[in-house]
Chains A and B, each alone.
Chain A
Amino acid sequence: MNLHDIIISEIATVAKEQGKTLNPLSDDMALAACGLDSLGFAILVANLEDKLGFDPFATAEDVRYPQTLGDLVRFYHDAVPA
Chain B
Amino acid sequence: MRQATAAPVPRMSLRQHVAGAAHGAQLFAAAGRIDLGTAAHSSWLTGADAGPDATVLLRTRDQHDFALALLELDGRAGRLIICPPDLTAAQAAAVMAQHGVTHVFDDATMEGLTPVDGVRRLALRALPQQADVTAPACDTQWLMFTSGTSGPPKLVAHSFAGLTGAITPLAGADAVVWGTFYDVRRYGGLQMLLRALTGGGSMVLSQTGEPVAAFIARLREAGVTHLAGTPSHWRQALMCPDLTTLKPRYLRLSGEIVDQSVLDALRGAFPGVMIGHAFASTEAGVAFEVNDGLAGFPAAWLDMPGKVEMRVRHGTLHLRSGRTASAYAGGGGALHDDDGFVDTGDLVQQRGDRVYFAGRASGIINVGGAKVAPEEVEAVINGVAQVHQSRVHARRNPMTGSLVAAEIVALPGCDEAALRAEILQACRAALPAYKVPVSLTFVAALPMSAGGKLERRHA
Residues of A within 8 A of B396 (CB): 58
Contact with B along A1-37 (1 / 0, CB 8 A): 0000000000000000110000000000011110000
Choose from B240, B397, B439 the contact partner of A67 (Cβ within 8 Å).
B240
Contact A38 B368 (CB under 8 A): yes
Bound-state Cα–Cα, A30 to B399, Å: 17
Contact B241 A63 (CB under 8 A): no
Nearest A residue (CB) for B232: A38
Contact A46 B265 (CB under 8 A): no
- B395 an interface residue at 8 Å Cβ cutoff? yes
- B21 an interface residue at 8 Å Cβ cutoff? no
- A45 an interface residue at 8 Å Cβ cutoff? yes
Chain A interface, >50% SS class:
helix
User: Within the complex, what minimum Cβ distance (angstroms) separates B6 from chain A?
Assistant: 49
Known: A38-B368, A65-B239. A32 touches B211 (CB 8 A): yes
Choose from A43, A55, A62 the contact partner of B438 (Cβ within 8 Å).
A43
Contact with A along B363-386 (1 / 0, CB 8 A): 000011000000000000000000
Residues of A within 8 A of B400 (CB): 38-39, 42
Q: Give the residue among B240, B399, B403, B434 with the most A Cβ atoms within 10 A.
A: B399
- B236 an interface residue at 8 Å Cβ cutoff? yes
User: Within the complex, what minimum Cβ distance (angstroms) separates B404 from chain A?
Assistant: 10
Contact A39 B367 (CB under 8 A): yes
Contact A42 B403 (CB under 8 A): yes
- B120 an interface residue at 8 Å Cβ cutoff? no
- B433 an interface residue at 8 Å Cβ cutoff? yes
**Which residues of chain A in 35-80 are interfacial with respect to chain B, using CB atoms and an 8 Å cutoff?**
38-39, 41-43, 45-47, 50, 55, 57-58, 62-67
Q: Give the residue among A32, A41, A57 with the most B Cβ atoms within 10 A.
A: A32
Choose from A17, A30, A63 the contact partner of B265 (Cβ within 8 Å).
A63
Bound-state Cα–Cα, A58 to B240, Å: 20
Contact A18 B403 (CB under 8 A): no
Extra contacts besides A31-B239, A38-B399, A65-B265 (18): CB < 8 Å: A30-B241, A32-B213, A32-B236, A33-B211, A38-B232, A38-B235, A38-B236, A38-B400, A39-B368, A39-B400, A41-B399, A42-B398, A42-B403, A42-B438, A43-B438, A46-B403, A58-B396, A66-B239
- B416 an interface residue at 8 Å Cβ cutoff? no
User: Within the complex, what minimum Cβ distance (angstroms) separates A25 from chain B?
Assistant: 15
